[in-house]
């Protein structure tokens, strides 16, 4: 099964068609850190992360992890933890994307395994499928409404890929 991002506003899976949003500056075959572009390609999916204080644990065929207050995703190309899940500590010197947010974007998210296995510095990090309320453009992620995310979650499994065209 493959999730297909057909264009800037359409996500397809099975017979379902969902509205979505992508990077502010569209798509790129040559993504770089901070370019506001969504990477083009076919990628594996990682874990599902959720905020237990806002959403009950989703039932999924993919591993589900609770987001803790000290969780972040390193987006600092100079860090050895670039494009990895990290624990945020007071003395941390690298940049990171905080997963425990005041807004609802990361109440539910799935890691898109872009630049993940063999990480290349400055090629982009923290690419997620996450929530949106208004379909505003992202920094490079794919965003859908919560109700659509919950439907999609029931369809996907460990072998599901995402194809961004």
pLDDT at 77: 95
Backbone angles phi, psi at 102, to 5 degrees: -75, -40
Q: Reduce the DSSP state of residue 162 to 3 states and report it.
A: strand
Q: Confirm if 143 and 131 have CB atoms less than 8 A apart.
A: yes
pLDDT band at 19 (very low <50, low <70, confident <90, very high): very high
Average the pLDDT over 100-118 and give the result. Answer: 97
pLDDT at 92: 72
Q: Confirm if 26 and 5 have CB atoms less than 8 A apart.
A: no
Q: Is the pLDDT of residue 94 over 90?
A: no
CATH number of residue 69's parent domain: 2.40.440
The pLDDT tens digits of the residues spanning 49-80 come to 999 999 999 999 999 999 999 999 999 999 99
DSSP lists the bridge partners of residue 74 as 96
pLDDT band at 93 (very low <50, low <70, confident <90, very high): confident
| Residue 71 in tokens | 């969780």
DSSP structure string for 19-77: E-B-BTT-EESS--TTS--EEPEEEEEEEEEE-TTTSPPPP-SS-EEEPPTTEEEE--T
pLDDT band at 91 (very low <50, low <70, confident <90, very high): confident
Domain housing 20: 2-164
Query: What is the number of domains present in the chain?
Result: 1
pLDDT at 152: 96
Average predicted confidence (pLDDT) for the chain = 96
Average the pLDDT over 7-34 and give the result. Answer: 97
> 142: part of which helix (H) or strand (E)?
strand 142-144
Q: What is the pTM of this model?
A: 0.95
The whole-angstrom separation of Cα 73 and Cα 52 is: 18
């Amino acid at each position: 099964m493959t999730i297909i991002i057909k264009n800037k506003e359409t996500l397809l899976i099975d017979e379902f068609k969902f509205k979505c949003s992508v990077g502010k500056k569209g798509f790129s075959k040559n993504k770089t850190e901070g370019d506001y572009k969504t990477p083009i390609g076919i990628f594996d999916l990682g874990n599902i992360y959720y905020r237990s204080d806002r959403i009950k644990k989703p039932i999924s065929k993919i591993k589900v992890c609770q987001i803790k207050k000290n969780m972040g995703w390193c987006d600092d190309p100079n860090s050895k933890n670039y494009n990895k899940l990290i624990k945020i500590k007071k003395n941390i010197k690298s940049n990171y994307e905080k997963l425990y947010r005041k807004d609802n974007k990361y109440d539910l998210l799935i890691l898109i395994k872009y630049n993940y296995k063999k990480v290349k510095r400055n090629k982009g990090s923290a690419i997620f499928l996450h929530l949106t309320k208004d379909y505003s453009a992202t920094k490079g992620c794919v965003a859908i409404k919560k109700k659509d995310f919950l439907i999609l979650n029931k369809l996907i499994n460990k072998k599901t890929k995402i194809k961004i065209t």
